[in-house]
């Protein structure tokens, strides 16, 4: 069973700064099945990145994904006020979905 | 309008049953590239995958935490996804989301419902 570990648990930054969120898999995974989601309080998650590095429809280009194998990163190049939220990595394999525990991005 | 709308949540005693529904609209529910899933989120916690059913209902998979107690199904004529939850436990308390999985080339959850709250308590 694949386990996804996200770090840090909480990231405190200011608008305009760059954010780098990490997700590590317990074993090598297929990049094509790796995704990132954003969740704001009281809302459902929203797909940001699929295939480890492709932006979903309507996602601003300040969001980018990278990585392969066991290490993946979500980068937000310049934080906007609306970007402060919880971010989850996710992998689909062996006919089941797996989520990381989340990284909370908060305003410093 | 492309959307998923869950219903059926509520307060239920431990050991009892509940059935959740997810009404799909605005897209072809039986398209071969769409799987349907349930994902839950306990209060203040992260996302937990629960179950999936293939586009035609022929394949079903479950998280170990619910296997043998929950059953996922879909009514392709009415465009509704279900989650039958039996022998409920306090740890099943969560917001339950239905989510559409879109396959190749995306392979991700691209559409989510707003969620329905299930509280298991005596």
For residue range B5-54, what is the model confidence (pLDDT) as tens digits?
A: 999 999 999 999 999 999 999 998 888 889 999 999 999 999 999 999 99
Which chain B residues contact residue A56 at CB under 8 A?
106, 108, 110
Q: 3-state SS of A47-104?
A: EEEECCCEECCCCCCCEEEEEEEEEEEEEECCCCHHHCCEEEEEEEECCEEEECCCEE
Mean pLDDT across chain B: 95
- What average pLDDT does the segment B112-122 reach? 97
Which chain A residues contact residue B48 at CB under 8 A?
99
**Counts for chain B of helices (H) and strands (E), in that order:** 0, 11
pLDDT band at B103 (very low <50, low <70, confident <90, very high): confident
What was the pLDDT predicted at A91? 96
How close B49 comes to chain A (CA, Å)? 6
What was the pLDDT predicted at B83? 98
- Whether residues A44 and B115 touch (CB distance < 8 A) is answered with yes
pLDDT band at B80 (very low <50, low <70, confident <90, very high): very high
Interface check for A102 against chain B (CB to CB < 8 A): the answer is yes
Which chain A residues contact residue B66 at CB under 8 A?
none
What was the pLDDT predicted at A15? 97
Structural element, H or E, at residue A3: none
Q: Quick: pLDDT tens for A68-80.
A: 999 999 999 999 9
How close A56 comes to chain B (CA, Å)? 8
Q: What percent of chain B has pLDDT over 90?
A: 86
- Residue B76 is classified by DSSP as T
- Whether residues B109 and A44 touch (CB distance < 8 A) is answered with no
Which chain A residues contact residue B34 at CB under 8 A?
none
What was the pLDDT predicted at B40? 98
Q: How many CB pairs under 8 A join A and B?
A: 65
B102 forms beta bridges with B34, B108
Residue A40: phi, psi to the nearest 5?
-100, 155
* pLDDT-flagged residues of chain A (< 50): none
Chain B residue with minimal CA distance to A49? B108
Which chain A residues contact residue B107 at CB under 8 A?
32-33, 35, 50-51, 92
Interface check for A5 against chain B (CB to CB < 8 A): the answer is no
Top-confidence residue, B113 or B33: B113
pLDDT band at B104 (very low <50, low <70, confident <90, very high): confident
Q: What percent of chain B has pLDDT over 70?
A: 100
């Amino acid at each position: 069973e694949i386990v996804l570990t996200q770090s840090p648990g909480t990231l405190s930054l200011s608008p305009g700064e760059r954010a780098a969120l990490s997700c590590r898999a317990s074993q090598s995974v297929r990049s094509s099945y790796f995704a990132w989601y954003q969740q704001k309080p009281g809302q459902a998650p929203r797909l940001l990145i699929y295939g480890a590095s492709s932006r979903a429809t309507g996602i601003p280009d300040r969001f980018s994904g990278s990585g392969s194998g066991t290490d993946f990163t979500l980068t937000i190049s310049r934080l906007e006020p609306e970007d402060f939220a919880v971010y989850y990595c996710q992998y689909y394999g062996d006919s089941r979905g797996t989520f990381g525990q989340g990284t909370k991005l908060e305003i410093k | 309008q492309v959307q998923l709308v869950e219903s059926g949540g509520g307060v239920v005693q431990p050991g009892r049953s509940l059935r959740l529904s997810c009404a799909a609209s605005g897209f072809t529910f039986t398209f071969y590239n769409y799987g349907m899933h349930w994902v839950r989120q306990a209060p203040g916690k992260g996302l937990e995958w629960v179950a999936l059913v293939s586009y035609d209902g022929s394949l079903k998979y479950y998280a170990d935490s619910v296997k043998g107690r929950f059953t996922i199904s879909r009514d392709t004529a009415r465009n509704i996804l279900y989650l039958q939850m039996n022998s409920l436990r306090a740890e099943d308390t969560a917001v339950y989301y239905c989510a559409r999985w879109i396959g190749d080339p995306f392979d991700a959850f691209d559409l989510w419902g707003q969620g329905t709250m299930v509280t298991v308590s005596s």
